[in-house]
């Protein structure tokens, strides 16, 4: 088990992201790369390693790597109208097999400029393969008691699911469902719970404690999805 202990992000982490929002050019970034690495990149790597050890001890199915789990600060602008070369946030994703694909149930943490993504963590089933999403929808209809138990467990833990990309209409094949809570669930493309992070708190080592607590409280969502994903063929 890893012995890396997260000590907090650097004091210049948020000022760097705010400045980067204004100075969207390679020259400025290279001149300030040392600040980026010392106050953002390396601390996020420490946070990942610290959380990995905590998650393993707690039996949570999130794996990763301090470098490979981080998303690049440099943007891929090939298919985007926004040609800004750099993101205004830095983030990492942990998943059961350690890759950065969220469809298998994931833990995500983002440290961002508040005018854009902001700072938050999320536990989610995100952009699943069509067969898994269909299996989840069938499970909601065929075993509504399991779905409702999961939702109630999250509520008891102070969490609520919210999909900002939900369908406006009930998906085909489920039109006969009339229960409002099940209709709302069937329209979800993703199943997500979020934890807002106070930007002023990112320099504290306590952030790792708070994120472990959040992940444990979100466990009912991960367990519900894993029970369903185990019934689908890969």
pLDDT at 233: 47
Domains assigned to the chain: 13-228 (3.30.930)
Buried b (16+ CB within 10 A) or exposed e, 90-109: bbbbbbeeebbebbbbbbbb
Q: How many CA atoms does the CB half-sphere of 93 hold within 13 Å?
A: 17
**Which pair of structure tokens corresponds to residue 213?**
């607590």
Q: How many CB atoms lie within 10 A of CB 62?
A: 24
Mean pLDDT of the chain: 93
Q: Which of 188, 86, 201, 69 is nearest to 133 (CA)?
A: 188
Total-model pTM: 0.93
pLDDT at 139 over 80: yes
The confidence band for 117, taking pLDDT boundaries of 50, 70 and 90, is confident
* Strands of the 106-112 sheet, one edge to the other: 89-94, 106-112, 120-125, 191-196
pLDDT at 76: 87
pLDDT at 104: 75
Instruction: Please compute the mean of the pLDDT values over residues 182-191 and round it to a whole number.
Output: 97
pLDDT per residue as tens digits for the range 152-178: 999 999 999 999 999 999 999 999 999
pLDDT at 2: 62
């Amino acid at each position: 088990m890893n012995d890396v202990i997260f000590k907090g992000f650097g004091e210049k982490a948020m000022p760097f992201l705010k400045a980067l929002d204004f100075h969207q050019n390679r020259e400025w970034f290279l001149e300030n790369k040392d600040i980026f690495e010392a106050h953002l990149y390396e601390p996020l790597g420490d946070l990942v390693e610290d959380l990995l050890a905590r998650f393993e001890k707690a039996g949570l199915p999130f794996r990763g790597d301090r470098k490979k789990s981080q998303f690049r600060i440099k943007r891929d602008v090939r298919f985007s109208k926004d040609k800004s070369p750099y993101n205004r946030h830095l983030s990492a994703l942990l998943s059961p097999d350690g890759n950065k694909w969220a469809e298998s149930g994931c833990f995500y943490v983002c440290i961002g400029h508040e005018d854009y993504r902001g700072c938050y963590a999320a536990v989610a089933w995100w952009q699943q393969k069509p067969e898994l999403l269909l299996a989840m929808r069938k499970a909601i209809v065929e075993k509504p008691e399991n779905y409702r138990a999961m939702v109630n467990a999250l509520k008891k833990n102070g969490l609520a699911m919210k999909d900002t990309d939900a369908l406006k209409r009930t998906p085909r094949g489920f039109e006969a469902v009339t229960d409002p809570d099940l209709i709302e669930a069937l329209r979800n493309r993703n199943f997500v719970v979020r934890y807002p992070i106070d930007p002023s708190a990112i320099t504290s080592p306590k952030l790792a404690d708070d994120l472990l607590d959040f992940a444990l409280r979100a466990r009912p969502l991960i367990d519900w999805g894993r029970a369903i994903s185990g019934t689908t063929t890969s």
